[in-house]
């Protein structure tokens, strides 16, 4: 039996989604500079959309000083990397990517565990990313300086095929 709640944002995330995030965080944590830290679901300001607007990436690499701050929003230029893992195939695509580009978040990695694919979006300008590099699980995601490391994808979890209920 499934209960649908009116106004709810869709089905709850699968456990494998958290598995993807945990693996990415575990790879990044020892490799990023000491003044940077990966955080789960921080609020990132959207100056392009108003003073109360914000984005919530699944994972973001930002200055470690934020951990001792009273601020509730990270400035988007302080975010070195934002990561979004799609809950279902096709979610978190054009509109979400455009929002991150509009806020001028430097790097956005979008991971699709349903299809086993990823994209690295960089150089935001005018509400879009000017450089988009895509790949499949098994191909590393190359992250530029100041991160200067990569994310291995060969062992990231894949979602099982969705069956009709």
pLDDT tens track for 116-127: 999 999 999 999
Residue-wise pLDDT for 30-58, tens only, equals 988 899 999 999 999 998 888 889 999 99
Phi and psi at residue 116, in whole multiples of 5°?
A: 70, 40
Distance, in Å, from the CA atom of 49 to the CA atom of 103, rounded to the nearest integer, reads 8
Phi and psi at residue 158, in whole multiples of 5°?
A: -115, 145
Domains of the chain, CATH where assigned: 15-151 (3.90.1570.10)
Phi and psi at residue 40, in whole multiples of 5°?
A: -85, 130
């Amino acid at each position: 039996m499934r209960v649908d709640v009116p106004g709810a944002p869709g089905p709850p995330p699968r456990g494998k989604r958290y598995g993807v995030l945990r693996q990415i965080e575990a790879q990044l944590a020892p490799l990023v500079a000491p003044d940077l830290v990966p955080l789960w679901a921080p609020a990132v300001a959207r100056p392009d959309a108003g003073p109360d607007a914000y984005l919530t990436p699944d994972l973001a690499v930002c200055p470690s000083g934020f951990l001792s701050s009273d601020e509730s929003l990270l400035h988007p230029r302080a975010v070195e990397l934002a990561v979004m893992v799609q809950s279902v195939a096709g979610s978190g695509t054009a509109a979400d990517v455009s929002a991150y580009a509009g806020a001028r978040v430097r790097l956005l990695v979008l991971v699709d565990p349903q299809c086993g694919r990823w994209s690295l979006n960089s150089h935001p300008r005018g509400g879009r990313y000017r450089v988009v590099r895509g790949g499949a699980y098994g191909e590393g995601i190359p992250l530029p300086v100041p991160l200067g490391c990569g994310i291995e994808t060969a062992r990231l979890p894949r979602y099982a095929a969705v069956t009709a209920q």
